[in-house]
Amino acid sequence: VTSPEHIALGPGREFDAIRSLLREWAGVAEHIGDDAALLEVPRGERLVASVDACIENRHFRREWLTPREIGYRAVAAASSDLAAMAARPLGILIALAVPDQWRADLDEIGAGIADACRGTGARILGGNTTAAGELSITTTVLGSAFAVLERSTLRPGDTLYLTGSLGASGAALHALRANTALDPSHRVRFARPQPRIAESQWLARAGAHAAIDVSDGLAVDLAHLAAASGVTIEVHLEDVPVVPAIPAERAVASGEEYELVVGARAPLDTADFAARFGLPLTRIGLVREGDTEVVMLRAGVRVANVGGYDHFTI
């Protein structure tokens, strides 16, 4: 049984840092200080767990984001994998590796972590801090679900739907790398992505049965879905919702969008979804029998070499 009270922490520099973080995490962290976290899973549901690392100069550069955004983004990205499974977030475990030159920013990073948890409803249940040569934030997310969405359950005849619009995150990354003017609406999508937690609950209840979150770019993530399910996915580029002024070919290569693609056998009520969440839900393609591949079409003609996002080129 979890208790919101923390265990008293002993002396030392690491524990001083944790005490300071616990002030940022007031009302969000629970029962910190024991050897391990305790977690109640609702009766009849399954535990859903995932871990995600966010590393300086690999996933972001210091000059691109505030420390608060870095903390937020790490936890939001990890939480998106729970959305992709239609799991409700219960808690997180957070491992922080902090170089000396980031030490003064630790509370702000912690504030961003708390922001993300307030957004998803997850509690901070425990973690670890250590000195390191580069900043890294490794988030284990723990959730629960009665009916999960999986990658391997697409079948021929299914319709594919996408939440939101694509392209802003990739455009922001492009501008940051090139050090060119950055549209604030693109920046916010990059710095403060929204894991689609409530949306995925709705989608699962409405009859969606397969899903993936768009982390590597729609084209690449659809290829993962096609491979997992052993099907052909057909998408018409004209149908993919894209943010203004971004070509569809770039939008489908835009990574770290954290929108959801779901497959459903029967039509989903896109108008109800849009009214409820203020976000479009758009039919973007269908599933066919055939080779495990993604076929992208423009004006009925197959488009070759629609690219993906490479995590290792920032």
To the nearest whole angstrom, how small is the minimum distance from the Cβ of residue 249 to Mg ion?
Answer: 22
Give whichever of 190 and 258 is closer to Mg ion, judged by the CB atom. Answer: 258
220 vs 240, which CB is nearer to Mg ion?
A: 220
Contacting residue, 213, 216, 257, 259, with Mg ion by CB under 5 A: 213
Q: Is 257 in the site for Mg ion (CB under 5 A)?
A: no
> Which of residues 212 and 248 has its CB atom nearest to Mg ion in the complex?
212
What distance in Å separates the CA atoms of residue 270 and residue 290, rounded to the nearest whole number?
28
Least distance in angstroms from the C-beta of 231 to Mg ion? 19
Q: What is the rounded distance in angstroms from the CA atom of residue 105 to the CA atom of residue 108? A: 5
With tokens 């002396």, the residue in question is 11
* Closest CA relative to residue 172, chosen from 255, 281, 112: 255
Q: Least separation, in Å, of the C-beta of 2 and Mg ion?
A: 27
Segment near Mg ion (CB under 5 A); pick from 77-85, 105-113, 163-171, 281-289: 77-85
Long-range pairs, 7-13, Cβ under 8 A, ≥24: 7/31, 7/32, 7/33, 7/34, 8/33, 9/33
Q: Which residue among 81, 158, 216, 234 contacts Mg ion (CB under 5 A)? A: 81
Distance in angstroms between the alpha carbons of the first and the last residue of the chain:
43
Question: What is the per-residue DSSP string for 36-87?
Answer: S------TT-EEEEEEEEEEBTTTB-GGGS-HHHHHHHHHHHHHHHHHHTTP
Give me the least distance between CB of 31 and Mg ion, in Å please: 28
Stretch touching Mg ion by CB under 5 A, among 82-90, 137-145, 176-184, 247-255: 82-90
- Taking the complex as a whole, the smallest distance from the CB of residue 143 to Mg ion amounts, in Å, to 13
Please give the residues from 83 up to 112 whose contact with Mg ion meets the rule CB under 5 A: 84
- Contacts with Mg ion, residue ranges (CB under 5 A): 81, 84, 213, 215
